[in-house]
Every structure is written in C-alpha cells, then in structure tokens.
Amino acid sequence: MTRIASIHRVPMRHPGDVSGVAALIEDGLDPAGIVAILGKTEGNGCVNDFTRAYAVQALSVLLAGRMGMTPEAVAERVAMVMSGGTEGGLSPHFIVVSVGETSAPPMRALAIGIAFTRDFAPEEIGRMAQVNATADAVRAAMAEAAIDDVHYVQVKCPLLTSERIAEAEARGATVTTHDTYHSMGLSRGASALGVALALGEAATVSDAAIGTDTSLFSGCASCSAGVELTRNEIVVFGNSPAWAGDLTIAHAVMQDGIDLPAIHDALRGAGLDPGGGQLAPDQAARLVALLAKAEPSTSGRIRGNRHIMNDDSDINATRHARALVGGVAAAATGRTDLFISGGAEHQGPDGGGPVAVIARKP
C-alpha cells in the first residue's frame, strides 16, 4: 500500500465552530487519518489571543468523540496549528490534513511529515535549545515521510507569559526577555532557524543571531507562536516519489509584502496558470490551499516608500502585515480563505516571507 495525503479546507463561523470538520468525517473522512489541522482564527494574533486555544479545545473534543480517546490524547497525537488574525478580507477557516493508504502505485506527490519536540522550559524559548530541537524534529519528520523536496514547514511554538517567567526565575533561570509579546518573535525566530538548519539553508546559528541577524532565514519556514502549548508542533509539506495522489506543492519567497510575482511563481510551480493576473475560475477550483508569512520591514519602507506599520500604537504591526499580504494573495487567487500568518522573523528576508501553494494536478 502507498501513502496518500488529502487536504480539506472548511470555513468556520467562529473559533469554536468545528461543524465543517464534523461534516468531513460524516462524509467519509477517517478521523484516525487526521494528522494535523491548521486554522486561521479571528483573534488578534497576540499573546492574549485565546481564540487559538478555544479552537484547539473544540477540535480536540470533536475528534475525541470520533476516535474513542480523550481530548488530551487527541492533542498529543494531532498537530493543531492555530494562527490568530484574519484582518482585512481574510476568511476564518480550517485546513484538515489527513494521511491514508491507497493501492495506487507510488508517484511524485504531496507528502506530509509530522513531528513534535519535547516541552520547553521557559528559559529555553528563543534560544539554541529550541533551535536544535526543532531541527531534529524536522529531520525526523522528513525521514519518516520520505520527503526529498520540502516546500513548507509549519511550526506552532510556545511563548513566554508572566507566569512562565516567574516560574523560571524562581528556579534561578534567566529568560530571553520579560516582554511577553517580544517572546513570540524570539520563539518564532528560533523555530525558523531550526528549520533552516534542518534544510541546509543555514550552516550555523547562535543565540546572538536569534531575532537580530536578518541575513539568516528559511525560505520554507512558517512559525506561529501561541500561549496554548509548551512544545513545538511541526508539519512538513513536500513532494515525495514514495507517495501517491493528485496533490502537489510548490513555493516561492516574497521579497516584500507586495511581491505579486512571487505568488504567481508559487502558483505556476504547483501547475496553476495565473495568466499574469488573477486565477480563472477553473484554475481557482484546483487551488487547495495557499499558505504565506507576512512581516513589516524593519526599515519602515516598501520599495522606497514609507509605511507606518511599525509606528501604529493602535493596531499591531503584524495585523497590518497580514491584511496587506492577504489582499495581494486574494487578488492573485480570487479567494479569501487563505492561510496568511503574521510574524516572519527569520522566515524569508526582512519584510518578506515564504508563500506555498497546494493544488490538484490537472
């Protein structure tokens, strides 16, 4: 038997609405085959975005009933990557990732690798311990899934809270920062550099480079930090000659938030024809998922023109960035149910980020 991946994109009415996932199961999707669920929830994407935990809880309860296990056991087995923030016209949705078996012969097709790190102590977040553990987990996921062509590595990583900081310091440990929001960026950055090490995109990494050396980055990493976990949960998307199916994945790296040509390159790489503009309906129907990272440039400029994303005290910069990149990607695809994640530290060049496309082969 040959492994085969399936990807289903379903809408949500609110972060706890798992009716779309339930309908997939009722229509025949084997819940035991679900290995990951990615979600875009309508929270603020910051430290106190509990829409992510709400969605994880709702999904865990749903799957527990279908799989005959506890919600806690489900959360240990299924990678649940919730990314908060659907600013602009982005639509809240879940992406359900499942792996099954088929009698079809192997061919080069979409393959999925899943791995989890150990739980991190607060003082390890944003440091080399997180980098190295992530690199090891990515390598393990690639090996288990026989992936030789990686295009996107989705990581859900933890962050620091005041409680976690106090617990570490009570033991005499020192954390990377007392700014809980800044800890999100350091955790994302350390995770992304772990991906870069695993994929050979970086030769060496040091504690001093995390969050500072923008020349070090992965063109495939997408990392999202949340309060709802203390380990890294990793989903490797790639192509493998050992899998079967009609899905394929490709990616490109956006150099800035309006890099439409990079999105077109990713679409073409997955076999879709944007025609220099927006996907025609027949092409859009073959688009299974678009996943991208968004980050305001630290220079405060896009192609020489000033932006105010980093200076707005009312709206967080990552929220601006998600809306910007989401608009460009929606214009390219004719869809708004796109997985656009903010906070791209070491994920693509400064101000840019990876964009991946999963599509059905013609």
Binding residues for substrate: 52, 83-84, 188, 224-225, 322, 341-342
221-225 vs 149-157, strand pairing mode:
parallel
Helix (H, G, I), strand (E, B) or coil at 258: coil
Both tokens of 280, joined, read: 């025609």
> Which helix (H) or strand (E) covers residue 109, if one does?
strand 107-116
Taking residue 106's Cβ as centre, other Cβ atoms within 10 Å add up to: 15
* Residue 312 DSSP one-character state: -
Specify whether the CB–CB gap between 235 and 154 falls below 8 A.
yes
Specify whether the CB–CB gap between 287 and 343 falls below 8 A.
no
Longest alpha-carbon distance in the chain: 60
In DSSP terms, which residues pair with 221 in a beta bridge? Answer: 153
Q: Which is the catalytic residue, given 60, 98, 218, 224?
A: 224
Amino acid at 279: L
Helix (H, G, I), strand (E, B) or coil at 101: strand
> Which helix (H) or strand (E) covers residue 289, if one does?
strand 287-294
Q: Which residues are annotated as a binding site?
A: 52, 83-84, 188, 224-225, 295, 322, 341-342, 344, 347-349, 352
Angle, nearest 10°, between helix axes 260-269 and 317-333?
50
Q: Which is the catalytic residue, given 156, 218, 222, 297?
A: 156
Active site residue 224: yes
Q: How far is CA 319 from the centre of its chain?
A: 16
Amino acid at 219: G
Q: Which residues are annotated as a binding site for Mg(2+)?
A: 295, 344, 347-349, 352
Active site residue 361: no
Closest by alpha carbon to 326, among 151, 167, 91, 169? 91
Residue positions annotated with a catalytic role: 156, 224
